[in-house]
Amino acid sequence: MSEILTVQNISHIYSAGTPFERAAVKNISLSVQEGEFVGLIGHTGSGKSTLVQHFNGLLKPTSGTVLVDGQDIHASKEATRRARFQVGLVFQYPEYQLFEETVYKDIAFGPRNMGLDEGEIDRRVRTAAQQVGLPEDALEVSPFDLSGGQKRRAALAGVFAMEPRLLVLDEPMAGLDPVGREEILQCIERFRRVSGAAVLFVTHSMEDAARVSDRLIVLNQGEILMQGSPAEVFSNSQALTAAGLDIPTVTRLFIELRRRGLPLSPAVYTVPQALAEILRLKNGGEGEVC
């Protein structure tokens, strides 16, 4: 697998030279492999949103380098432009950015800017709409007539249609109810499976992050606190709590049960895992620890 994103020692300082000077990102290095699903976690002000805006060149690092597909994205104007198409960035509340007369035109906006021909634009719009579960007849209505959840999905489709190789989403499920959150997660997962793109999503929900990610990166005060598989990261729940993050309720429950002397796995972070682990112990310790 090849590396789609390589970030080398980047720092970003806001309002440099003013009394409000603040380093939001401090000397961060990380990489994302093609097809990977990465969760980026951190509390408000930890630098997550600042960091991801470097991935497609919206922000230029104060120091350090960002490589997309091995190319320095600030090497030339052309390289920056290419990065914008290769790395699709979905902001918080992306539905606020819908603006066209019809859903179709809104989804087509990105591909059209890429200079694609009409046939290809049409194919991409329809594919993206299907990936987010928008019916054909929704394409001809005004995006402002869609329901809240549909608007969010239409906005996602606009980025999917650019067929980025790395999809970066900043809190894509914010403000949705549990069912809406699940729908959005499934849209993203479907896109990743079909396109083979990498996904990096920013969240402060440890539970959502743990459920879908191959790898978690935890940010604290502009620096990487830890990274690894969900099981590795959750085994170190003390550090997470110290960084102001909430660990899943079942993880806290298992810490409490272990404290009471029950030989349970420390790396439990979903209800099905918890269930399997309790049944394993109940049935005399047989079977695998998940």
Partner 1 sequence: MEKAIVSAENVTYTYPAEEGKQNHAALHDVTISVKQGEFVAVLGHNGSGKSTFAKHLNAILLPSGGAVYIDGMDTREEGLLLAIREKCGMVFQNPDNQIVATVVEEDVAFAPENMGVAPEEIRRRVDACLETVGMGEYKRHAPHLLSGGQKQRIAIAGVLAMEPSILVMDEPTAMLDPAGRREVMQTVARLNREKGITVILITHHMDEAAMAGRIIVMHEGEVALEGTPREVFARVEEIRRLSLLPPQTVDLLWHLRAQGFDLPLEALSVEECADVLEAFLKK
Count of residues of this chain found to bind partner 1 when the rule CB under 8 A is applied: 42
Min CB(155)–partner 1 separation in Å? 16
- From residue 187 to residue 216, what is the string marking binding to partner 1 with x (rule CB under 8 A)? -----------------x-x----------
133 binds partner 1 (CB under 8 A): no
β-partners of residue 33 are: 3
Find the DSSP H helices in the chain: 48-52, 77-86, 103-113, 118-131, 148-160, 178-195, 206-212, 230-235, 237-242, 249-259, 271-282
Helix axes 178-195, 118-131, angle to 10 degrees: 140
Residue 16 in contact with partner 1, rule: CB under 8 A: no
Nearest Cα neighbor of 203 from 68, 58, 90 is 90
Query: Is 148 a residue that touches partner 1 (CB under 8 A)?
Result: yes
Which lies closer to partner 1 via its Cβ, residue 5 or residue 103?
A: 103
Among 23, 58, 176, 290, binds partner 1 (CB under 8 A): 176
**Angstrom distance (rounded) from CA 38 to CA 53:** 16
C-alpha dist (Å) from residue 35 to 2, 129, 140, 164, 165:
9, 21, 32, 12, 8
Phi, psi of 91 (to 5 degrees): -80, 175
Q: Which of residues 61-120 bind partner 1 (CB under 8 A)?
A: 92-93
Among 9, 101, 256, 287, binds partner 1 (CB under 8 A): 256
| Residue 46 or 213 having the CB closest to partner 1 | 46
Q: Which residues bind partner 1 (CB under 8 A)?
A: 14-15, 20, 42-45, 92-93, 145, 147-149, 171, 174-180, 204, 206, 244-246, 248-250, 252-253, 256-257, 260, 262, 271, 274-275, 278-279, 281-282
